[in-house]
Amino acid sequence: MDVIATTQERRVIVRFWLGLGCLLLAMVAQASEVYQGKVGRMPVVMTLDTSSNGTVSGRYFYRKYRKDIPLSGKWEGKTLQLSELWDNSEPEKIAMILERSGNGLQGTWVGKKPISVILKVVDSCAIDIQDPVLFSWRKRDLYELMRLEGLSLKPDKRESFQGYSLQWLQEPQSKITYFRITSGYLLSSLVNSIMCWQSVSGARSPVIFSV
């Protein structure tokens, strides 16, 4: 039985429609540098955007958990200092100190005990994509593709929103949450392979269209 969306879920859906409008106009997302490698022994994936003045914003996730960790920082000469943005009420603390090394980055994760960080630029052509819905993400958003590929989703509740039928799904460990538009969207065949995302309970929430 369908249920009515909660206030939080309505906000997610409204932001999604606004984002979709921008996406259909642009159709191509701005490219970022995407890396994969290890922090200590833990495999990670990271994306970074660098502005003209050297400031950097980005995200990374541990492959084991797939949960986004926001990053900000700045290049100071040949050194990049990155902070993890867990809580805006807390002063930013340097989390990583990196330098360019070949086609990647190398340095140290700063903690009670320094841990080595080794990252290499991702070759998008080398990624084996099993889910056809994600094919177009190889160029559109490589980082998000790597975070979503291979997730095991479990159906959650169904609900209705302004004439649309939605099926919510969640990946239990990372808490990544999706909603799938199952009916009511006239252009579903056009956007069947387009995925957008909004924030839900601390995770980014991709939206999958199905006919």
- Copy the structure tokens of residue 111: 């903690």
pLDDT digits (tens, 9 = 90+) for 2-17: 444 555 555 555 555 5
Give yes or no for residue 160 having a pLDDT over 60. Answer: yes
pTM recorded for the entire structure: 0.66
Q: Is the pLDDT of residue 30 over 90?
A: no
Mean pLDDT of 78-105: 87
8 A C-beta contact, residue 46 and residue 36: yes
Which SS3 state, helix, strand or coil, does residue 33 take?
A: strand
With cut-offs at 50, 70 and 90, classify the pLDDT of residue 79: very high
Q: For the purposes of burial, counting CB atoms within 10 Å of the CB of 59, is it exposed (0-12), middle (13-18) or buried (19 or more)?
A: buried
The mean pLDDT of the chain is 74
Mean pLDDT of 149-166: 77
Give dist(CA 194, CA 129) in Å, integer.
Answer: 15
Which residue(s) pair with 101 in the sheet?
Answer: 104
Distances in whole angstroms, Cα of residue 183 to Cα of each of 126, 159, 161? 35, 11, 11
Q: Could you tell me if 56 and 82 are in contact, meaning their C-beta atoms sit under 8 angstroms apart?
A: yes
